[in-house]
Structure 1
Amino acid sequence: MTGHPATAYKILTADQWTQFRADGLFHSAPVDLADGYIHLSTRDQLQGTLDKHFAGQSGLVIAEVDLAQLGETVKWEVSRGNALFPHIYGPLPMAAVLGVRQQG
C-alpha cells in the first residue's frame, strides 16, 4: 500500500457500532452489502462522505482503521470524483480499530 495513508475511516450508525462492538467484527452496512465491500474514506475524503451519505444523521461513530492490519483485503479503487478510496473485501475486525469519535 505504498503511497497510501496508513489509516482510513469507517462511518457507522449508533446501531451498527453497537453491533460491531458486540460481535468484534463488522460485516457490512446496507451500502457495503449492495456494493460487495466495506466502504472507507481517507482523512481528506471523510467530510465529503459525511456530507454526501450521512447529511442530517445524528449519533454517528467514526472509527479510525489501521489498514496494515487488514493486509490484502484492502483494495484502493476509483470512486467519487475519480479519487482512490480504500475498500475492504472481507469483515472489519475490532482489533484493526485504533480509535473512535462521535459525530453529530
Structure 2
Amino acid sequence: MKIDDRILDRLLATVQKPARYIGGEYNSVVKDWDAIPTRIALAFPDVYDLGMSNLGLAILYHLLNEQPDVLAERVFVPWPDMEAAMRDAGMPLYSLETRHALRDFDLLGI
C-alpha cells in the first residue's frame, strides 16, 4: 500500500521537522516498484537525523541499489510528534523513496 500524499501532506503540516519524512535527497535512488522483483526496506532504529549520516546504511543502500533486480529503500523511526500523527491517521510506517508501507517489502534489514 502506497501512502496517500494528501493525507501525508496534512500530517506534515502538523509536525516540527517535516523534511525528515519526505525523502528526495541528493543521491537517493527511486526505482520502478512494479518492475523490480526483490524489494528490501533498510530500517534504521532511530530518527532520520541520525540515520541518514550512518555510513553502514549508506553503503548497504548503494550496493543493493546497484543490483538491477533489487530495490532498496530507507525507513527511519518517526519522532514522537509524527508517530502520534501517524497513529491517529492509521498510517503505517513507510519508506522515504516511494512511500510504500513497510509491510509491502519482501525483506526488512535493521
Task: Give the TM-score category using the shorter length.
Answer: under 0.3
Please identify which structure carries the higher strand content. Answer: 1
Tell me the TM-score normalised to structure 1 length. 0.26
Structure with larger Rg: 2
Tell me the TM-score normalised to structure 2 length. 0.25
